[in-house]
Amino acid sequence: MIRRRDFIALLGGAAAAWPFVARAQNSGKPPTIGFLGVDPQMWSAWTGAFVDRLNALGWIDGRTVNLLFRWAQGRPELHTQYATEFVRLNVNVIVTSGAAVPALMQVTSSIPIVFAVANDPVGAGMVRSLSRPGANATGMSAQTLDLASKRFELLRETVPNLRRLAIMADANFRQAVLEIGTVEELARKFGIEVFPLRIGRAEDIAPAFETMKVEKTDGLYVVINELLNANRILIVTSAQVAKQPTIFGTRDWVLSGGLMSYGPDLRALLAEGAGGIEDLKAQAAVLSNEMTARADEIQDRWSKLTTNIKTNLQS
């Protein structure tokens, strides 16, 4: 789960150095926010929450701020392309997910980057430390391995006869290695055999489900990231056809027909990302009471269990 002190430190440590609208005010133009997401349809609820929060803070697209949306469609190589475009357009701040931050930081060291959530911002090189980010990226840190333990526990409780567990993950996703290791360690304690299914591209998904059929797995644990998010419908549908009880990391997978999820409310986090942009206007001294209260609210809604009754009845 998110740690309150991490949230305050990441936003507060950068705020003093990043007056958000300074360049825009000097030029007499509204500030520009570059928003880099995965897919416009998939992220519609999240971007809606982000825009609503901006509006509540007085930032109205086309009037007091300009929003530029770009979509990577699960293709990491596009992160660099869009980062280059944002630099060329001289945006004032970039909002994105944690997965895109390393590529963005390679292109710009001066434009502030706000990420809604990152699994391990220190290990990924996004920030030097949680208390002193030290670079141009800031956002919220998730304790992903704690969430992995809870997901495994929930899936095991849902599938009492779980003996053979498949784990689907992007082979190029650094955090997946750690998460798979955590689940494997937990599985061994209960005598559960684990079958990692490493996906490198969308074409690997169908063969992965064939492997599950051959291995006669009892359940599926999906480590979500941009590649798998971009193929969410395919994965959910395939899991239904294979009658594999599956747990995912965020609620949107359940809304697409998945059985269950446990993880962050990304709509709330992107709304907080908008609040983080607002905080970049201020000096660090204004953060204390407001940021502490907001961190408490985020922690309360951070990890949520969502289940799909219809999918459960059909399985």
pLDDT digits (tens, 9 = 90+) for 91-108: 988 888 777 888 888 899
247/261 Cα distance (integer angstroms): 5
**Strands ordered across the beta sheet of 193-199:** 193-199, 164-170, 219-222, 246-248, 260-264, 303-307
Instruction: Give dist(CA 23, CA 30) in Å, integer.
Output: 9
Q: Which CATH class is domain 4-142+265-302?
A: alpha beta
**Over residues 295-310, mean pLDDT:** 49
For the ranges 28-42, 229-243, 269-283, the one whose mean pLDDT is highest: 229-243
Q: What is the pLDDT of residue 247?
A: 95
Instruction: Provide the edge-to-edge strand list for the sheet that holds 113-118.
Output: 66-71, 32-37, 93-96, 113-118, 137-141
pTM here is 0.62
- Quote the percentage of the chain above a pLDDT of 90: 35
Find, among 8, 1, 89, 61, the residue nearest to 275 by Cα. 8
Domains 4-142+265-302 and 144-263+305-314 fall in the same CATH topology:
yes
- Please give the pLDDT value at position 224: 86
Q: What are the sequence ranges of the domains in the chain?
A: 4-142+265-302, 144-263+305-314
CATH superfamily, domain at 144-263+305-314? Response regulator (3.40.50.2300)
Residues 213-272 pLDDT 10s:
999 999 999 998 888 988 999 999 999 999 999 999 888 888 889 999 987 766 665 566
